[in-house]
Structure 1
Amino acid sequence: MKRERLFFRRILTLFLSFILSGSLHAQLKGDHLLGDAGLQSGTQTPPGFTLVVPVYFYNAAKLKNGKGELVTDNLGLNMFVTGIGGAWVTNLKILGGNYGGTALFPFASNRLESTVTTVKSPFAFTDIYLQPVQLGWHLKRADFVAGYALYLPSGKYEQGGDDNSGLGQLVNEFSGGSTVYFDKRKSIHFSALLSYALNGKKKGTDVKTGDNLSIEGGLGKTWYLKKANSPIPTIINAGIIYYMQFKTTEDHIPLASGFLLNPDKDQIYGIGAEGNVFIPHIRSLIGVRWLGETGAKNRLQGNTYMLTIAYMLKTFEKKKGE
């Protein structure tokens, strides 16, 4: 009986590895966490160095097939990701845009429950995100960004392992986007950021995740609340946000028998809300996001929640006259 349960657990884990959504523990999914960009996703922050602590939670119960039909709503996936990172923007100009970058050192855990078994991965160090190049341009009615990033396979990964904390693949990601403003004060805005991830082979295998196209952004409104005793206003930003992701190439999965499995491509859409506030006297931004998913194919469908705390450690903005 024990051997049968162990066999079933392994089969279930293998099956779920083909269809789990966005999990850092799941096989054949990219490292890009949907929902990490929202309002003004096509805008580079002002020059400075900022410490960032993201808190990301994803839960899902519905599993959809390649036709978007419900297979089951009896699965329970809970994924938690947090960490510490830094983002910098300098006054150095390259091709007319400010040079910047980002680094994030994350930790993650997953719990998958069904009516027959529970699969858990421990809270552990996972794959590092490094964006060594980001360029940002600011025009009167629009901002633009372009960047190159890497997801480094720094988390524990072993083929067939049940305690992996990373995906075991090097990912090269290219991105570009814009925020368009509809008034002179830049208070009403719409943004879109496109990211294309080229996924490499998993460590020690010929397994390769298909490439992913992600689009994220939102439509929002900004309020500037200036106090008499403060030269910098409190800034409130709120609006509707969205994301979508498409697998553009097929997964490559050689099986032990020599048979090559190429699962159907998956896709997902999400829409929700974002609100954040910049508090000048503590030089900090606090933001929250929620997105409900729809239109899933070959993956789970659920909800994404994100809390972001950012502290501007140092500003590099030049004062007037400098």
Structure 2
Amino acid sequence: MKKYLIIFVCASALLLLQSKANAQLKGDHILGDLGLQSGSQTPPGFSVFIPVYLYNTNKLKNAHGDVVQRDIHLNMFVTGIGGAWVTNLKILGANYGGSVLIPFASNRLEATSTSKSPFAFSDIYFQPVQLGWHIKQADFVFSYSLYFPSGRYELGGDKNSGLGQLVNEFAAGSTVFFDKKKEWNFSALFSYALNGKKKDTDLRTGNNLSIEGGFGKTWYLKAAKGPIPKIVNFGPVYYMQFKTTEDKIPVGTFILDPKKDHIYAVGAEGSVFLPGIRTQFNLRWLGEAGAVNRFQGNTFFLMMAYNIKSFAKAKQ
């Protein structure tokens, strides 16, 4: 009897392990938070911003890209308050900047599960280094960022507002301008996230490569007062994400399904900068396709950024 009990426990553990392994873990990088001119740094100054992010999904796809679950009706919501700065300090010929976001979230997706969590304080995003270069027909940007496991996290918990992992992320990209007035542009930003172990576990999410950008048209509309014009941007945007290493699960083995998850998305973005109130409004939507081992849905992103202080030097 004891022998059969041991066999039963071992078999149950293996089934549990397999269910965790097939549920690929998610990173902290929020797709769709960047689009048009993703490879550009903003002009020198200090701004506060409020992002509003909504991810809606009702499809779960397997390793073959087949829908295995429908009508999930799961919404992930993230908002918060942040600050961004770009200085006139030069490092390697680039302007130095950075940013921070204090976020709140509900239904943070940890894996391919439909568990829901309440709206609560989430994982802090801090970018201590952002370097921006500007040449005649192109911008370039490089950054290093951290995601801190500051939100509530407990393995298997149903009230998690964070993912419980420290993440180091490196990013580099460019925005290329096709005309002298810089009205037409194409951008791409490559971000690589190195995910640490989850809090109080040996679980480790595989590393993620994300690519985000867009092809945009910019209009510079003369303002009624002042030298700064009203700026309008519009155009198609995209993102894609690929898991480059396998999720690691507690006993030291790797994910049982050899096909790592990935996703593609296309959509549209529109933004306007109103110089009279020194505020930019940005609206972005992307519809996902080609999902493997993950959810497939729609991303909606709205942001309001207010320029508190400009550090731009007056032209001589």
TM-score (norm 2): 0.90
* Alpha-carbon separation, structure 1, partners of 2:224 and 2:55: 42
Residue deviations 1:6-58 (CA, integer Å, cap 9, x gap): xxxxx99x958954xxxxxxx72100000000000000000000101000000
Aligned counterpart for 1:183 among listed residues 176, 179, 193: 179
* Alpha-carbon separation, structure 2, partners of 1:50 and 1:111: 27
1:131 equivalent in structure 2 = 127
Alpha-carbon distance, 1:204 to partner: 1.2
For structure 2, which runs of at least 5 residues remain unmatched after alignment? 1-14
Residue pairs, 1:1-322, within 5 angstroms: 19=23, 28-110=25-107, 119-254=115-250, 261-263=255-257, 264-321=259-316
Look up the equivalent residue of 1:304 and give its one-letter code: T
Check whether the contact 2:96–2:129 (CA below 8 A) recurs between aligned residues.
Answer: yes
Alpha-carbon distance, 1:120 to partner: 2.4
> 1:259–1:192: structure 2 CA closer, same or farther, 3 Å change rule?
closer
* Alpha-carbon separation, structure 1, partners of 2:19 and 2:300: 26
Q: Percent identity?
A: 68
2:5 equivalent in structure 1 = none
Check whether the contact 1:190–1:220 (CA below 8 A) recurs between aligned residues.
Answer: yes
Look up the equivalent residue of 1:151 and give its one-letter code: Y
Alpha-carbon distance, 1:260 to partner: 5.4
Look up the equivalent residue of 2:250 and give its one-letter code: P
> 1:228–1:80: structure 2 CA closer, same or farther, 3 Å change rule?
closer
* Alpha-carbon separation, structure 2, partners of 1:105 and 1:288: 20
Residue deviations 1:195-254 (CA, integer Å, cap 9, x gap): 000000001111100000000000000000003532110000000000000000000012
1:24 equivalent in structure 2 = none
Look up the equivalent residue of 2:214 and give its one-letter code: G
For structure 1, which runs of at least 5 residues remain unmatched after alignment? 1-10, 20-26
Look up the equivalent residue of 2:297 and give its one-letter code: G
Check whether the contact 2:219–2:231 (CA below 8 A) recurs between aligned residues.
Answer: yes
> 1:101–1:239: structure 2 CA closer, same or farther, 3 Å change rule?
same
Residue deviations 1:150-169 (CA, integer Å, cap 9, x gap): 00000011112111111110
**CA RMSD, 1 decimal:** 2.1
* Alpha-carbon separation, structure 2, partners of 1:232 and 1:85: 24
Look up the equivalent residue of 1:190 and give its one-letter code: F
Look up the equivalent residue of 1:297 and give its one-letter code: V
Give runs of ≥4 in structure 1 deviating > 6 Å.
Answer: none
Count of aligned residue pairs for this structure pair = 297
Alpha-carbon distance, 1:181 to partner: 0.4
> 1:70–1:241: structure 2 CA closer, same or farther, 3 Å change rule?
same
Look up the equivalent residue of 1:104 and give its one-letter code: L
* Alpha-carbon separation, structure 1, partners of 2:68 and 2:114: 19
